[in-house]
Amino acid sequence: MTLLKKKIYIAGHRGMVGRAIQRVLEAKGYNTIIGRSSEELDLRNQAEVNAFFELEKPEIVIDAAARVGGILANNNYPYTFLMENLQIQNNLIEAAHQHQVEKFIFLGSSCIYPKLATQPLKEAYLLTAALEPTNEWYAIAKISGVKACEAIRKQFNKDFVSLMPTNLYGTHDNFDLQTSHVLPAMIRKFHEAKSNNHSEVLLWGSGTPMREFLFVDDMAEAVLFAMENKLDEHLYNVGSGTDLTIKEFALLIQKIVGHQGQIIWDSTKPDGTPRKLMDVTKLRTLGWKPKIDLATGIQITYDWFLENVNQIKGVKM
């Protein structure tokens, strides 16, 4: 059977990353993709997950399902972020193992690496020092998933691979100011301030930390690459390979949105990790590389935000 005919299950297919993966796979001719909403299948429930695998018998599984959020959400709900992510990934990994899934792709996050690790972050830095405290609960869950996939490769010689993306953004992002990541939060803040006579925008921290961003469709292309190729190692970073300060980033978003007011930096709020740049040498050497630059990606994301602003809860027009 050719790969195009394989039955592919995308866990988290309604999230930003899952939607992008489905878009990219369908564009390449994959048409036996299955997904279940959280209402249809509770991935925290082991019995439900096992019954689903027994019924559908997926041959390839892509785990893009997770409880995610920014600094505020991670700080306020540490147990939820730790436990729900452990439940989701453990149930999927074990079901994939028990039901003889041919390939399992686990998606994590760059926050698995130590807070003060040498830059750029290499895969070898995993578990070499302390994590960033503001999101260690999520990070610990994701590290457990990486190690579970590594253990299955080691003990059972199965094709389980982990991809660690940098900060992702794009269409279908979460623009809720309480739970969103930095890019969609900034788009919304600048848009609302622009609509309010270009009023000032208050941003957390000093603006000095450096961050790397990757458009979600580029991440989806990396998943496709991992799916179509047998990768020799268990862990690969996925990123743009370039970063900029949060202040530079804010000015770029401000320009694209068209906000002309003042930016106020609240230095009493946490900055998070000082720098978080991924070393993407391993995956690039194999042939994958991103295609969409940051300015283009932000413009696409803002255009999508404008088209869907009526469906985004609480946006002030």
Q: Which amino acid is at 73?
A: A
Would the annotation count 15 as a binding residue?
Answer: yes
Q: Within 13 Å of residue 50, how many CA atoms lie on the same side as its CB?
A: 7
Give the whole-angstrom CA distance, residue 44 versus residue 155.
Answer: 25
Would the annotation count 31 as a binding residue?
Answer: no
CA dihedral 127, 142, 161, 182 (to 10 degrees): -100
Would the annotation count 204 as a binding residue?
Answer: yes
113 in catalytic set:
no
User: Under a CB-based contact definition with an 8 Å cutoff, are residues 13 and 64 in contact?
Assistant: yes
Would the annotation count 18 as a binding residue?
Answer: yes
Which of these is catalytic: 9, 113, 138, 169?
138
User: Under a CB-based contact definition with an 8 Å cutoff, are residues 240 and 303 in contact?
Assistant: no
Would the annotation count 284 as a binding residue?
Answer: no
Would the annotation count 17 as a binding residue?
Answer: yes
Would the annotation count 107 as a binding residue?
Answer: yes
Would the annotation count 166 as a binding residue?
Answer: yes
Would the annotation count 271 as a binding residue?
Answer: yes
Would the annotation count 16 as a binding residue?
Answer: yes
List binding-site positions.
Answer: 12-18, 107-110, 142, 165-168, 181, 189, 204, 211, 271
List binding-site positions for NADP(+).
Answer: 12-18, 107-110, 142, 165-168, 181
- Residues acting as catalytic residues: 138
List binding-site positions for substrate.
Answer: 189, 204, 211, 271
